[in-house]
Structure 1
């Protein structure tokens, strides 16, 4: 049994129509405004959704990663899978069952997180509240902020600062 992220709803942006969509390992590109920097991909249909709920599932992190990578057509070598499984275990440890979670520039965060100072994969962010949270009240808030290329480019981290 493991804590994991399941699609919570179809609020705001949700292209995934799966009954029980599970979150894929993030695959953020160098154009995060396209949605890869703030949406979650489904392990089954590969389409995006905004909100995930922490649930308990009857799989290990190795099983989750292996299935996700197989469905995506990616390498399932033990070293790759174990590395991602270890990352998942680390990420999930601070969440509780039932938490509403979003993805934002390299991080899974509680949707209600506030006063964020964050060096993401692409940009540096300083936010009073996540745009995902605002979008629960005003759905257009997500695209108005995170779908805006200028939002990301004005905060872009120099390549030499990015920790890979």
Structure 2
């Protein structure tokens, strides 16, 4: 058995209408406009639409197969089997940080347990110093998530000076 991320539910924000059991996550597809949702939502590997949180589940599907499916779904034509295998290896290492049943959220290049606190990190775009994930706070009111992370001002005020030098 393998571990992978699947849509947890339709709580908070969900544009994906797939059943949770049929909605594996894709890897990050963050662009240079994280406020649009690509910096804080997770995309469905079936329909391509976004949702807020994923659950770590066991699956019979090998990670390399999820990689192949994602390549096909995104219409990528020049990705080698070796690159897919590297992606699967990296995904397995990242998944080692989570237990089956954990509910996770994505923020600016990193996956976090939704209930995690004291989050301090430099993401792809911005430096974040959060007492609690906005995704968790939004369980009380979904508009909170979009109002904070959907606001370009949040990102511009925290933009890393060295962004793009990686």
TM over 0.5: yes
Residue by residue, what CA displacement relative to the aligned partner does 1:79-106 show, whole Å, maximum 9, x if unpaired? 3212211110111001011101011000
Alpha-carbon distance in 2 for matches of 1:132, 1:160: 24
Counterpart mapping for 1:66-81 below 5 A: 66-74=68-76, 75-81=78-84
Corresponding pairs, count: 163
* Segment of structure 1 superposing worse, 137-146 or 120-129: 137-146
* Segment of structure 1 superposing worse, 72-81 or 14-23: 72-81
Tell me, yes or no, if the aligned pair for 1:112 and 1:133 is still in contact at 8 Å. Answer: yes
Counterpart mapping for 1:1-164 below 5 A: 1-19=1-19, 20-74=22-76, 75-159=78-162, 162-163=165-166
Alpha-carbon distance in 1 for matches of 2:121, 2:130: 9
Residue by residue, what CA displacement relative to the aligned partner does 1:2-35 show, whole Å, maximum 9, x if unpaired? 1111101111110011112110011100000000
Tell me, yes or no, if the aligned pair for 1:70 and 1:76 is still in contact at 8 Å. Answer: no
Gaps of 5+ in 1: none
Residue by residue, what CA displacement relative to the aligned partner does 1:95-118 show, whole Å, maximum 9, x if unpaired? 011101011000111001111111
Alpha-carbon distance in 1 for matches of 2:52, 2:134: 11
Find runs of 4+ consecutive structure 1 residues off by over 6 angstroms.
none
Residue by residue, what CA displacement relative to the aligned partner does 1:45-68 show, whole Å, maximum 9, x if unpaired? 000000111100111111111111
Tell me, yes or no, if the aligned pair for 2:125 and 2:163 is still in contact at 8 Å. Answer: no
Residues 151 and 89 of structure 1: is their aligned pair in 2 closer, same or farther, counting only changes over 3 Å?
Answer: same
TM (norm. structure 2) is: 0.94
Secondary structure at the aligned position of 1:137 is classed as coil
Alpha-carbon distance in 2 for matches of 1:153, 1:83: 33
Secondary structure at the aligned position of 1:82 is classed as helix
